[in-house]
Chains A and B, each alone.
Chain A
Amino acid sequence: MDDGTVGVLSPHRQADRVLAVMRVAVFVVSLSVQFGLCWIPLFYYRHEYRPAWLAPAAFAVFALVTLVSGWWVLRRRRPPGVFVASSIAVLFCASTVATAAVPAGGFFGAPHWSFGLVGWQLLMLLLDRPMIVIVSALGGHILLSVLQFGLAGLPGRIELGAAAITLISVSSFQLAIAVMCRTHYRRALLAGAMAAERERLATEKAVAEQLNDEQRVRFAGQLGSMLPLLVGVADRTLDTRTDDVRRRCAVAAAQLRRLFAENDDVPDPLVHELSACIDVAERRGLGVSLAVSGDARPVPKIVRRELTQPVMTALALARSTARVTVLRTEDAIRVAVVADAARQDVALAPSALIEVECFTLEQRVWVEARWCPRQMTAGPS
């Protein structure tokens, strides 16, 4: 009902709006025909109708139907089915009455003003119905009128010819309008469907762009920590021969690889991301073994990020070999690294989501990141 939301209208509602406008046009035609044309013969032949009051009474009924229809039509609403059905019955009765009052020889001529008017009114009421209904109603009315015409006495050839001309010209004009409206309605329906499809594609595109932007921002956010490193390496304020810079570069490379692996659709994302980190370490010439125990379980992306971070740090410290293990038991997911580290000072960022533990023994460093899903659901400790 809200006309302001064109973009989200269904194709049917779009087409219904077109139909409503066409109905208003037919309403205006009915009104013009009745009050612009019909009253003239009614007034002119007022003494010839038998009984004389019958024709004006029928005119009043027609006017009533038109005006009451206007209540819905002008508000671009579809007239209710009950009203339409009862109006058609009333129109047929009024038409029969008005036709019955037509003086002999006046059938389908000027005194028979009601014939054309009823056609327009039927069209106005049935414009949104299937073509077969419109044709049946118009045909029914023609049949009724012709029947009355025949019952009134055998007409002469000239009379018959004149009647046929009026009948065919009026009816075919009304039928043509009906066909035009229905065609227009179907076109509107089609156009609406196409517009909806276009709208859907536009929305899809917007969503995809939004996702892409988010990804870019996220990548940029993660790149943020790497930029000073890259700048330092580029302008040679950082010496890549030093262990510290090389370690930072190793962590940055692993972070990037892990970030790219994060959005891959794989059955075991945690192991997939760890493999990405290990891959980077192996490119440095490190011998890394990975052992996994327990089946894959869903781990939130943010937790995976936290779990892999200590692994990257520990792998960056390793000199020649490292062992990465993933242990998935009922209570916890434990990711550990044991590496032959050149340094003992492992700087690990604290995390609110996971527990990180570190232990060094001679030249070996052990780092474990542990996530307990049950504790998480009970609330972070």
Chain B
Amino acid sequence: MVSAADDGRTELTAVVVDDHPAIRAGVEYWLSTASPPITVVAAGEDVKVAWTEPGDSADVVVLDLHLSGPTPAMGDLRRLANAGRHIVIYSMRGDNDIALQCLELGALSYLTKAEGEGHLVEAVSTAAHGRPYTPPTLAGALVGDRSQFRPALSARESEVLVEWFQSESKEFVARRLGISTSTVNSHLERIRVKYARIGREAPTKASLVARAIQDGIIGVDEL
């Protein structure tokens, strides 16, 4: 899968998989009015729209985990991640466990529907470039992670997650901790790189780590 940035294309595209037409329409509207705009090339209630023309070539898959059933669509997520697709999970549920499981399977972002337009647009546009986005709820899940194989985070990294979870404002986090907004971002990215290295392998996770090394966010010796 070649991301928009690598391709040299300027137009970003997405496919929306959600069983509620109002959500599909809302997401499409938010993305189309973003700056730069993101074009929704296909939208549907079934995940097959992401596998067929024209959805199969979209930069990002915005996936609702609960597609007309009580069980989360983890299988669909895994298959999309194995195919190297950039996935943003957009879910009703805010459970820490499900969010962490989605990251492990290779999702680049996990958003709850309580999180608004700003976070969704940012998550989709960063995912289009193969980068992770950690919205506040996901930050809360990461800092509350008590699983056995969780990566070791530094005290500062944990504090960034906590403050971001609480305030939803990177400027606020930066001012509170006396650092710059870009440092807040690189902390969040470093945390995501650490998470990308645990659990099962996925192409998106591998490229996420490679890109972080390339960008100097994390050193090879740190891995």
Top 3 closest pairs, chain A to chain B, by CB: A293-B140, A294-B144, A293-B144
B169 touches A291 (CB 8 A): no
Q: Which residue of A lies closest to B116 (CB)?
A: A289
Known: A361-B175, A366-B172. A327 touches B165 (CB 8 A): yes
A325 touches B144 (CB 8 A): no
Rounded to whole Å, the gap between the CB of A286 and the closest CB of chain B is 16
A323 touches B144 (CB 8 A): no
Q: Which residues of A contact B171 (CB under 8 A)?
A: 361
Known: A291-B137, A293-B144, A294-B96. A327 touches B166 (CB 8 A): yes
B140 touches A323 (CB 8 A): no
B144 touches A361 (CB 8 A): no
Q: B162 near A: Cβ within 8 Å?
A: yes
A330 touches B172 (CB 8 A): no
Q: Tell me the A184-213 residues at the B interface (CB within 8 Å).
A: none
Rounded to whole Å, the gap between the CB of A14 and the closest CB of chain B is 58
Taken together as a complex, chains A and B put the C-alpha atoms of A289 and B168 apart, in Å, by: 11
Digitize B81-94: 1 where CB-to-A-CB distance is under 8 Å, 0 elsewhere. 00000000000001
Q: Which residues of B contact A336 (CB under 8 A)?
A: 166
Given contacts A291-B140, A294-B140, A361-B175, 13 further A-B contacts (CB under 8 A): A291-B137, A292-B140, A293-B143, A294-B146, A323-B168, A325-B166, A327-B143, A330-B146, A334-B162, A338-B167, A338-B168, A366-B166, A366-B176
Taken together as a complex, chains A and B put the C-alpha atoms of A329 and B162 apart, in Å, by: 10
Taken together as a complex, chains A and B put the C-alpha atoms of A366 and B168 apart, in Å, by: 11
Q: Which residues of B contact A294 (CB under 8 A)?
A: 96, 140, 144, 146
Q: Which residue of B lies closest to A325 (CB)?
A: B166
Q: B114 near A: Cβ within 8 Å?
A: yes
B144 touches A329 (CB 8 A): yes
B144 touches A364 (CB 8 A): no
Q: Which residue of B lies closest to A293 (CB)?
A: B140
Taken together as a complex, chains A and B put the C-alpha atoms of A381 and B97 apart, in Å, by: 34
Taken together as a complex, chains A and B put the C-alpha atoms of A19 and B169 apart, in Å, by: 83
Q: Which residue of A lies closest to B99 (CB)?
A: A293
Taken together as a complex, chains A and B put the C-alpha atoms of A334 and B146 apart, in Å, by: 16
Rounded to whole Å, the gap between the CB of A334 and the closest CB of chain B is 7
Q: A368 near B: Cβ within 8 Å?
A: yes
A292 touches B176 (CB 8 A): no
Q: B15 near A: Cβ within 8 Å?
A: no
Q: B106 near A: Cβ within 8 Å?
A: no
Rounded to whole Å, the gap between the CB of A274 and the closest CB of chain B is 14
Digitize A357-380: 1 where CB-to-B-CB distance is under 8 Å, 0 elsewhere. 001010010101000000000000
Taken together as a complex, chains A and B put the C-alpha atoms of A242 and B118 apart, in Å, by: 35
Q: A328 near B: Cβ within 8 Å?
A: yes
Rounded to whole Å, the gap between the CB of B149 and the closest CB of chain A is 15
Taken together as a complex, chains A and B put the C-alpha atoms of A325 and B162 apart, in Å, by: 10
Q: Which residues of B contact A323 (CB under 8 A)?
A: 166-168
Rounded to whole Å, the gap between the CB of A175 and the closest CB of chain B is 75
Q: Tell me the B118-176 residues at the A interface (CB within 8 Å).
A: 136-137, 140-141, 143-144, 146, 162, 165-169, 171-172, 175-176
Q: Tell me the B193-221 residues at the A interface (CB within 8 Å).
A: none
Q: Which residues of B contact A293 (CB under 8 A)?
A: 96, 137, 140-141, 143-144, 165
Q: Which residue of A lies closest to B172 (CB)?
A: A361
Q: Which residues of A contact B168 (CB under 8 A)?
A: 323, 338
A327 touches B162 (CB 8 A): yes
Q: Which residue of B lies closest to A326 (CB)?
A: B140
Taken together as a complex, chains A and B put the C-alpha atoms of A240 and B165 apart, in Å, by: 35
Q: Which residue of A lies closest to B175 (CB)?
A: A361
Q: Which residues of B contact A328 (CB under 8 A)?
A: 144
13 A-B contacts (beta carbon < 8 Å)? A289-B114, A291-B94, A293-B165, A294-B144, A323-B166, A325-B140, A327-B140, A327-B144, A327-B165, A329-B144, A338-B172, A361-B175, A366-B176
Q: Which residues of B contact A325 (CB under 8 A)?
A: 140, 165-166
Question: Which of A291, A330, A359, A361 touches B165 (beta carbons < 8 Å)?
Answer: A291
Q: Tell me the A314-371 residues at the B interface (CB within 8 Å).
A: 323, 325, 327-330, 334, 336, 338, 359, 361, 364, 366, 368
Taken together as a complex, chains A and B put the C-alpha atoms of A359 and B171 apart, in Å, by: 13
Digitize B42-75: 1 where CB-to-A-CB distance is under 8 Å, 0 elsewhere. 0000000000000000000000000000000000
